[in-house]
């Protein structure tokens, strides 16, 4: 019995020592989008501070493709040892499970939450030739001329597509989706008059609004954004509307709790840095932070919201890999 107790005590000491030494080697940070995009930019903004907090290298591994499915699947199959993290967003955690057939991962089964990093404001903007200045104008036009209005997005199931679906669902309107291969072409189509409106990020749309090439109508968020306080939110007209994009971090299911705790503390510390917050907010990205349990609640509620929306719009399991 004494030998058993001694062995247990030794194991506890070794486990505690290992936890204190974590991380002991570089950590892979999978970003399921190509370099240079908005998601990658946020990850790279946080990375230097993360390295300082952890005292170890954090290597960004861009694995883009298939609406974040390629990188997310890679993370789901990685060892749950604390040395693989996934930069995730609502597409990968809350939308894809309902949108796609035979998805090769399941968020609740395959991942443990680490932190909710941020929310990203989206804005509905129109071509200046369209007689729309408010969200009420857009709704009235859509109702009086069903199928006349069209909108662009970066593809089927993209944030802009889903935001407009939510708008149609809440207002009982029908508008025509014109998908493009990327946010840049989708925005250019609105500026050029090929398409009448789109919902995009502030960093991509605001410069064109200021130059007169687009007209800002409303933010696709629950509340106004401090950097552009004169632009109302859609929720001011449609209570409960919120199509904000969000980012977070998850790890493979079963990752040691001590590693999750250390990673969560490191990210929270970086998100509190004034220079990091200022850089994020300038691009319409609102830092959040918090506990893993809070992020778990968000993932679950967002999954339920988009499951309901996609089923009501007839899009559940509408995409194939």
The CATH architecture of the domain made up of 122-236 is: 3-Layer(aba) Sandwich (3.40)
DSSP 3-state percent helix, strand, coil across the chain (nearest 5)? 45, 20, 35
Question: Which tokens is 28 given?
Answer: 């892979």
Asked whether the beta carbons of 142 and 190 are under 8 A apart, the reply is no
- Would you state the pLDDT for residue 2? 56
- Distance between CA atoms of residues 306 and 162, nearest Å: 8
- Distance between CA atoms of residues 306 and 67, nearest Å: 16
Please report how many Cα atoms fall inside a 13 Å half-sphere around the Cα of residue 257, on the Cβ side.
Answer: 4
Please report how many Cα atoms fall inside a 13 Å half-sphere around the Cα of residue 7, on the Cβ side.
Answer: 4
Q: Where do you find CATH 3.40.190.10 in the chain?
A: 122-236
For the stretch 289-298, contacts whose Cβ atoms lie closer than 8 Å and that sit 24 or more positions apart, written own/partner, are 289/115, 289/116, 289/117, 290/115, 290/116, 291/115, 291/264, 292/112, 292/113, 292/114, 292/115, 292/260, 292/264, 293/113, 294/116, 295/113, 295/114, 295/115, 295/116, 295/248, 296/113, 298/116, 298/246, 298/248
Strand 285-287 and strand 111-120: the pairing is: antiparallel
Binned average pLDDT, 10 residues per bin, the chain of 321 residues:
47 48 98 85 95 98 90 98 97 94 96 97 96 98 94 89 95 95 88 96 91 97 89 96 95 98 99 96 90 98 94 86 70
- Would you state the pLDDT for residue 284? 80
- Would you state the pLDDT for residue 250? 99
- Would you state the pLDDT for residue 11? 41
Please report how many Cα atoms fall inside a 13 Å half-sphere around the Cα of residue 233, on the Cβ side.
Answer: 18
Angle among Cα 114, 251, 26 to the nearest 5 degrees reads 100
Angle among Cα 247, 252, 257 to the nearest 5 degrees reads 95
Q: Where do you find CATH 3.40.190.150 in the chain?
A: 2-120+245-312
Distance of CA 242 to the CA centre of its chain: 13
Can you name the CATH fold of 2-120+245-312?
A: D-Maltodextrin-Binding Protein; domain 2 (3.40.190)
């Amino acid at each position: 019995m004494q030998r058993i107790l001694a062995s247990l005590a030794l194991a506890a000491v070794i486990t505690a020592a290992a936890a204190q030494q974590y991380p002991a080697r570089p950590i892979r940070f999978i970003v399921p989008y190509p370099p240079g995009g908005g998601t990658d930019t946020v990850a790279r903004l946080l990375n230097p501070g993360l390295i300082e907090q952890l005292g170890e290298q954090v290597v960004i591994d861009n694995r883009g493709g298939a609406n974040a499915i390629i990188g997310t699947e890679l993370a789901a199959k990685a060892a749950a040892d604390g040395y693989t993290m996934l930069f995730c967003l609502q597409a990968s955690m809350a939308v894809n499970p309902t949108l796609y057939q035979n998805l090769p991962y399941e968020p609740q089964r395959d991942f443990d939450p680490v932190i909710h990093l941020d929310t990203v404001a989206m804005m509905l903007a129109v071509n200046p030739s369209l007689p729309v200045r408010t969200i009420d104008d857009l709704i009235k036009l859509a109702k009086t001329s069903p199928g006349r209005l069209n909108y662009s997005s970066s593809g089927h199931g993209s944030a802009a597509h889903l935001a407009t679906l939510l708008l149609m669902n809440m207002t009982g309107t029908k508008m025509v989706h014109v998908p493009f291969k990327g946010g840049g072409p989708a925005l250019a189509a609105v500026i050029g008059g090929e398409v009448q409106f789109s919902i995009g990020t502030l960093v991509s749309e605001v410069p064109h609004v200021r130059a007169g090439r687009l007209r800002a109508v409303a933010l696709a968020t629950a509340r106004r954004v401090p950097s552009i306080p004169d632009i109302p939110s859609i929720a001011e007209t449609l209570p409960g509307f919120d199509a904000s994009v969000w980012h977070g971090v998850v790890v493979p299911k079963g990752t040691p709790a001590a590693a999750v705790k250390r990673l969560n503390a490191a990210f929270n510390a970086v998100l509190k840095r004034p220079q990091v917050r200022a850089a994020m907010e300038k691009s319409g990205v609102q830092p959040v932070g918090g506990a893993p349990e809070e992020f778990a609640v968000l993932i679950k509620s967002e999954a339920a919201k988009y499951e309901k929306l996609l089923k009501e719009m007839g899009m559940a399991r509408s995409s194939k890999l």
